[in-house]
């Protein structure tokens, strides 16, 4: 055995894979239920996770405020209420899961694509009020809320 080529310490990589698979098996179920192509279900769940986070941390902020929340800047972030340690953990976890949405353009494009989806698929409203979509079924709302809560745990 060549000791020069064998490292004495093998660095372990952080557990990133579970962070990237938080949507399964619901994404697969949605893909089949609504006959969605490719990664549409995964992207839809990412947008909904961002909207869920906003609803819990900045309930009065518009959907467009997510990049400010993730980056820790902007008026909505500076005027936020006092958060509990659990809410700070939610934000920290969301920053890892939703890192592409720290870019304002990426988030706005994702919101536009989300709004273009049929209403029956979306659990969040895209109008100015925001919040839960009244047309979504209670089962779909509970199913996704449970997934989002687990993801931001």
Res 12: pLDDT: 45
The contacts of residue 54 (CB under 8 Å, 6+ apart) are 61, 63, 65, 66, 69, 130
Res 53: pLDDT: 95
For the whole model, what pTM was predicted?
0.84
Rg (CA), the chain: 18
138-152 helix and 26-33 helix, angle to the nearest 10 degrees? 150
Mean pLDDT, residues 8-12 taken together: 47
Q: pLDDT, tens digit, for every residue of 33-45? A: 999 988 999 999 9
Could you count the other beta carbons within 10 Å of the beta carbon of residue 93? 17
Res 21: pLDDT: 81
Q: How far apart are CA 145 and CA 1, in angstroms?
A: 53
Q: Give the sign of the dihedral formed by CA 21, CA 50, CA 98, CA 95.
A: negative
Percent of the chain clearing pLDDT 90 (strictly above): 54
Q: pLDDT, tens digit, for every residue of 109-142? A: 999 999 999 988 989 887 766 677 767 777 888 8
Res 5: pLDDT: 53
**Mean residue pLDDT across the chain:** 85
Q: What is the DSSP track for 18-79? A: HHHTTTTTHHHHHHHHTT--TTHHHHHHHHHHHHHHHHHH-TTS-GGGHHHHHHT-SHHHHT
The residues that bridge with 132 in the sheet, in sequence order, are 124
Q: pLDDT, tens digit, for every residue of 72-117? A: 998 888 888 899 999 999 999 999 999 999 999 999 999 999 999 9
């Amino acid at each position: 055995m060549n000791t020069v080529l064998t490292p004495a310490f093998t660095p372990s990589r952080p557990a990133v894979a579970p962070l990237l698979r938080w949507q399964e098996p619901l994404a697969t179920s949605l893909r089949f239920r609504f006959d969605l192509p490719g990664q549409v279900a995964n992207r839809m769940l990412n947008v909904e996770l961002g909207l869920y986070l906003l609803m819990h941390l900045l309930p009065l902020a518009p959907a467009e405020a997510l990049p400010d929340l993730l980056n820790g800047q902007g008026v909505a972030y500076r005027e936020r209420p006092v958060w509990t340690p659990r809410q700070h953990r939610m934000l920290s976890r969301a920053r890892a899961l939703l890192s592409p949405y720290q870019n304002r353009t990426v988030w706005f494009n994702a919101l536009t694509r989300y709004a273009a989806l049929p209403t029956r698929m979306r659990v969040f409203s895209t109008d100015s009020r925001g919040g839960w979509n009244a047309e979504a079924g209670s089962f779909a709302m509970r199913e996704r809320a449970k997934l989002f809560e687990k993801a931001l745990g």
